[in-house]
Amino acid sequence: MRRTMVAGNWKMHGTRASVAELINGLRHLALPGGVDIAVFPPCLHITQVVDGLKGKSIQVGAQNSAVEAMQGALTGEISSSQLVDAGCSYVLVGHSERRQMMGERDGTLNRKFAAAQACGLIPVLCIGETLEQRESGKTLEVVSRQLGSIIEELGVGAFAKAVIAYEPVWAIGTGLTATPQQAQDVHAAIRAQLAAENSEVAQGVRLLYGGSVKAANAVELFGMPDIDGGLIGGASLNADEFGAICRAAGN
């Protein structure tokens, strides 16, 4: 049985003061049992969040990490080992904003994924198609290529200790959400691709849906058989809304 998971990606939002307020809101939430909950603040605020959430069952992750596992001469980057030292449990790999705006390609993402696992961080691999790709019928091809890159490089076993987030790019921050059936179809294809290599890994891996998830649409999305929770952007900046989404995952 897979444990559901709700992850909040704060993106490049927050000041020390607003983060303190958000931590306070999160600390007061009634959270469901049986759901893994994590927040991904900007790197600058990770230690503030780790300290602020002590004793609350919310894990902390980073939004990005270096291609190298260990600290060294790589100006401006942060290694997986440093993230573990700061108290992180997870790291996002290949969020579409980084693929599109920072030019991150599959080869780089394979290295980031491997570096994270080498340090005991759980990578959350983000994959998904653009609107143009969906409209030209290429959704499954794109998602399969992004997933296949890790499988080819690191083997399907790498997904025994990883999470996958399917995030259609056209649904991120747009207010447009994939319908539960659209999301389920892609999740089922992702699981089938993994199952073709190793059915145990395929059955165990959590597949999160991301793209304008809110409390109002979470129950229906999370009710689909291959959707094991969500990666939440904008709505995770509001503690009450985030809490309601976590409770939807607990239903």
| Residue 17 · residue 45 · CB < 8 Å | no
Q: Would you list which residues are annotated within the binding site for substrate?
A: 9-11, 173, 212, 233-234
Is there binding between residue 194 and ligand PEP (CB under 6 A)? no
Stretch that binds ligand PEP, among 72-80, 134-142, 189-197, 230-238 (CB under 6 A): 230-238
Stretch that binds ligand PEP, among 23-31, 53-61, 193-201, 228-236 (CB under 6 A): 228-236
Stretch that binds ligand PEP, among 127-135, 167-175, 195-203, 240-248 (CB under 6 A): 167-175
Per residue in 39-50, is it b (16+ CB within 10 Å) or e — as a string?
bbbbbebbebbb
Reading the block at residue 247, the tokens are: 């409770």
- Tell me the per-residue interface mask from 4 to 43 with ligand PEP, x by CB under 6 A, - otherwise: -----x-x--------------------------------
Torsion of CA 167, 170, 14, 125, to 10 degrees: 20
Per residue in 73-83, is it b (16+ CB within 10 Å) or e — as a string?
eeeeebbbbbb
Is there binding between residue 124 and ligand PEP (CB under 6 A)? no
Q: Is 135 a catalytic residue?
A: no
Reading the block at residue 217, the tokens are: 């649409």
Reading the block at residue 84, the tokens are: 């573990």
CB of 146 to ligand PEP, least distance (A): 15
Is there binding between residue 217 and ligand PEP (CB under 6 A)? no
Is there binding between residue 88 and ligand PEP (CB under 6 A)? no
Using CB under 6 A as the binding criterion, the count of chain residues that bind ligand PEP stands at 14
CB of 73 to ligand PEP, least distance (A): 31
Q: Is 167 a catalytic residue?
A: yes
Residue among 23 and 126 whose Cβ is closer to ligand PEP = 126
| Residue 228 · residue 188 · CB < 8 Å | no
State how far the Cα of 42 lies from the Cα of 117, in Å rounded to an integer. 20
State how far the Cα of 29 lies from the Cα of 16, in Å rounded to an integer. 20
Figure out which of the listed residues 14, 210, 229, 243 binds ligand PEP, where binding follows CB under 6 A. Answer: 210
Cβ neighbour number for residue 17 with a 10 Å cutoff: 8
DSSP bridge partners of 5: 36, 229
Residue among 81 and 134 whose Cβ is closer to ligand PEP = 134
Cβ neighbour number for residue 142 with a 10 Å cutoff: 18
Reading the block at residue 143, the tokens are: 């998602």
Catalytically annotated residues: 95, 167
Residues that bind ligand PEP in the complex, under the rule CB under 6 A = 9, 11, 167, 172-173, 210-213, 231-235
